[in-house]
Structure 1
């Protein structure tokens, strides 16, 4: 298995033109269906009340959280918890709620399990923070085939070179070269950032003993509480 450093070198060496070629060969156009922004079940009227079993989960970097916080309406900022939550993977359900350690942040979700920044009008979805959306959102439904990088929701259904395409109704549609290159550049940036973050987490990590109902998030900036403040 390649080291994270080796995979980071490979990510930095990715050729944007080659990635764009692969994206063009697969084809993509966003249909604004909202499937990548919403939970599988959501607030289905036939579902049992309460939190969804499988909420929308999208990885967000610490600096992306801060940028989203600053994008609040007017001169206000979003609270940290309005933007992000501890990645649920690795946490357990204790008597006082989730507890344990996790190693990423995820975008916050609403009561239906949908991304908190998603809105829908007459069946057409929109992102309310589109200009500041994280790289995982900018590059969906694509990922690169490198160890240590995040695979977005949905199974990989197509592959061209280093590019994998994941389940999305927009696949197979024509994409112009300029859009393919923009998407490819973001895809490379995301791969680099994910590996840099993984290396940073590894270097910062120190085991902790969590108490009942306590959650600790390890990111590249250290140990944090669910509200984003550093844990002493």
Structure 2
């Protein structure tokens, strides 16, 4: 298994042109179906839906806060835009507890992304489209390098290092300019994910002594409201 540092060098050496070639070969056009922004239905059709979980870098959470200051009537605080990734957490007597290693975009009461908007005709839109995180900018694609994430399930297609995940927009024509823009964002995301993973690994110290939820990210251990653990 390659080290994270080796994978990072490979990510930095990725050719945007070659990534764009792969994206063109697979094909993609967003149909605004909203599936990637909504709660996930269980694979077997039974049980409850699972809240939307799109990963969020710490600086992207702050970027979303800034976007709400500029575009919304009321600025959002950290908890309005980000929540602890639920994986690794358990339900204690006083609510969720444990340690997790990522942030997810906040969800609404239905489990959909809090910024998802749906028109009367059923088409979806993003309320912070220009400030959306890299995982949203690059969906339904990911890069097949260790240490990078696979959004919403396993890949359904692959061309070289580019994986395509389930989406009704796959297989549609995409212009070269759009493919290159998507490819550049895909490379940026791969690099960022590996940089975050390395920084998190180097900073991580178990905090089982803390009640409630602790989120470890590249900036250190934090409370669910985004404040550093040691500030309290």
Name 1:22's counterpart in structure 2: 22
Residue 101 of structure 1 contacts residue 210 of structure 1 at CA under 8 Å; is this kept in 2? no
Is residue 2:59 matched to residue 1:63?
Answer: yes
SS of aligned partner of 1:172: coil
Cα deviation, 1:90-141, whole Å, max 9, x if unaligned, reads 1111121110000000000001000000010120000000000000000000
Is residue 2:112 matched to residue 1:114?
Answer: yes
Residue 38 of structure 1 contacts residue 56 of structure 1 at CA under 8 Å; is this kept in 2? yes
Match of 2:98 among 90, 100, 114: 100
- Decide which structure has greater helix share: 2
Residue 99 of structure 1 contacts residue 210 of structure 1 at CA under 8 Å; is this kept in 2? no
Residue 197 of structure 1 contacts residue 219 of structure 1 at CA under 8 Å; is this kept in 2? yes
SS of aligned partner of 1:71: helix
Segments of structure 2 that go 5 or more residues without pairing to the other structure are none
Residue 4 of structure 1 contacts residue 199 of structure 1 at CA under 8 Å; is this kept in 2? yes
Is residue 2:151 matched to residue 1:152?
Answer: yes
CA shift, 1:74, in A, is 5.1
Change (3 A) 1:123 1:161: same
Is residue 2:216 matched to residue 1:198?
Answer: no
Between the aligned partners of 1:163 and 1:227, the Cα distance in structure 2 is 35
Cα deviation, 1:128-178, whole Å, max 9, x if unaligned, reads 000000000000000000000011013210000100000000000000000
Is residue 2:133 matched to residue 1:137?
Answer: no
Between the aligned partners of 2:40 and 2:139, the Cα distance in structure 1 is 17
**Superposition misfits of 4+ residues, deviation over 6 angstroms:** none
CA RMSD of aligned residues (A): 1.6
Larger mean CA deviation between 220-229 and 90-99 belongs to 90-99
Segments of structure 1 that go 5 or more residues without pairing to the other structure are none
Is residue 2:171 matched to residue 1:172?
Answer: yes
Question: What TM-score results when the alignment is normalised by the length of structure 1?
Answer: 0.93
Larger mean CA deviation between 55-64 and 72-81 belongs to 72-81
SS of aligned partner of 2:67: coil
Between the two proteins, the alignment pairs up a number of residues equal to: 224
